[in-house]
Amino acid sequence: MKKISIVIPAHNEEDNVVLIHQRVKEVFAKLKNYTFEIIFVNDGSRDQTQAKLEQLAMNFEEVKFIEFSRNFGHQPAVKAGMDLSTGNAVISMDADLQHPPELIPDMIKKWEEGFDIIYTIRTYPKQISAFKRKTSTIYYKFLSAISDVNLSEGGGSDFRLMDASVVGVVRNMNEADIFLRGLSNWMGFRRAGIRFTAGERTFGESSYNLKKMMKFAFTGITAFSVKPLYLAAYLGFIFSVFSIFGYGIYVVHSFITKTEISGWASLIMTVVFFGGLQLIIMGIIGIYLGKIFKQVKERPNYIIRSKNF
């Protein structure tokens, strides 16, 4: 029998962890040729999530938990579960029940057909605002345009299945700002997509406020693209050219019309030219510093306070 590991990050999900365990268990009750484990990762919850997980672990042997020392974020929580998983395949999903467990059999079927990564393409229900749907689409199209990976399809959801061989590759990665949505596309392997409609959150509120969403967006952009850093170099080049041609023309015009201010023309040209040159140099340095700054500190992605396995 093959074993499937279900990795579920949980941040203040005290009312949802019991429900999602029950729904996952009902799904696997119908899958006779598979065993499963559920690895809950408590990402610094401040409610009773940890107490609920410990109670579940006492009553059900398939339930395992990892407790972080503080809130490290969603992506490190998913990686922690993958790092300690033992299944032939790993499925990551959220604890808020917006990722329907009933889709698991379809994901396993695709996996058995020989695909290494089964990603999901999320569609939002009608009650989700048009603004959220549109901004999400624009973000992933923009990220795909400025990076080397295509995230326009399947990039917007952490609901995916990975074969154990793929998980082994992820374990060996030690990126400071890990972005699994992009890595699953960047690694390659045989991939297949399944569409699903996001469910409604049963209890609690999403912890992804605007600040966290913006930080997550910048993490995704900088993890797979250095093009924003090139912007500084481009701006420097533009200002340098503008200082030569734009102000140059103005200086010539001033001399011809006898309207120049003594010393002003040469001073402003020098300032603008060298200011642009400095931006070019700073942009080049930034390209290297931006890539190594966080990595050289070699801090772990997460710290485990406790676990039951």
Cβ–Cβ < 8 Å for 98, 8? no
What's residue 186's pLDDT?
Answer: 79
Give the integer Cα–Cα distance in Å for 142 and 130: 18
Query: pTM higher than 0.85 for the full model?
Result: no
The 10 Å Cβ neighbour count of residue 230 is 15
Q: Place 202 in a pLDDT band, splitting at 50, 70 and 90.
A: low
pLDDT in tens, 29-81: 999 889 999 999 999 999 999 999 999 999 999 999 999 999 988 889 999 99
What's residue 305's pLDDT?
Answer: 94
pLDDT top residue among 87 and 155 = 87
pLDDT in tens, 240-251: 777 777 667 776
Say if residue 128's pLDDT is above 80: no
Give the whole-number percent of the chain exceeding pLDDT 90.
37
What's residue 215's pLDDT?
Answer: 59
Give the integer Cα–Cα distance in Å for 176 and 59: 36
Determine which of 3-12, 26-35, 176-185, 268-277 has the lowest per-residue pLDDT on average: 268-277
